[in-house]
Homo-oligomer: A and B are copies of this chain.
Amino acid sequence: EIVAAIQQALAAGPLEGKRIVVTSGPTHEPIDPVRYIANRSSGAQGTAIAEALRDLGAEVVFVTGPATAPRPQGVQVIEVESARDMRAAVMGALPAAAAVFAAAVADWRVTSESGSKIKKQDGRLPVLEFAENPDILREVAHLQDGRPGLVVGFAAETDDVEANAVAKRARKGCDWIVANDVSPETGIMGGTENAVLLVTGDGVEPWPRAGKDVVARRLAERMADALSKG
């Protein structure tokens, strides 16, 4: 922690004085007091991005769901559980120069949440009712007032990665999409490496498979370039 604080203090990097919000990890959507629906996300890529932005001098606000990855040092950490909690934390952290939405937010929450543990009774199966969660990326990208200058979304896909990512960028109104293939056979989800496509207004760049820390540094440098021109 001390080392991280010194590193940050010494950094007079290109992101000095810029506040950047980074979301990371899964969200948990409660079914009852003991059960929940979750997304698989270790938080490793989001944590690496927060660290890389910090190392370039940014003032990072790190909004994380219940992730297994250790929290980054030298940044402000806000712990949340559900998508709605995450939305509130992100809105509270704005305004910011940029926002990176690396969290695997649950698309749906359970509206039939039970205050008591649902009991198993002979032959009866649970019926869960769902509602769409707030779409934090889309909401922030469409802010009329106080939209961050650079809004970066993530797309975790198992099919048609490029086409889905390009469509997602347009649909969400964000500036960039970092897309990856999370099919189990890639070993990316829960692993230490990532292979991404960066989708911007200029086109689609495939980045070589590399450690999540390397991908994070490259993204942070690209963000610093873009913000210095903005």
Contact = CB atoms under 8 A, between A and B. Distances in A.
Interface stretch (A32-40, A50-58, A194-202, A212-220): A32-40
Interface string A102-125: 001011100000001100100001
B108 A126 contact: yes
A184 B114 CA distance: 13
A157 interface: yes
A29 to B, nearest CB: 10
Interface stretch (A11-19, A127-135, A221-229): A127-135
B189 A116 contact: no
Contacts of A158: 33-34, 116-117
Interface string A182-212: 1110000100000000000000000000000
Given A159-B116, A159-B117, A37 B33 contact: no
Contacts of A33: 40, 158, 182-184, 189
A68 interface: yes
Contacts of A184: 33
Interface of A: 28, 31, 33-40, 68, 104, 106-108, 116-117, 120, 125-126, 128-132, 156-159, 182-184, 189
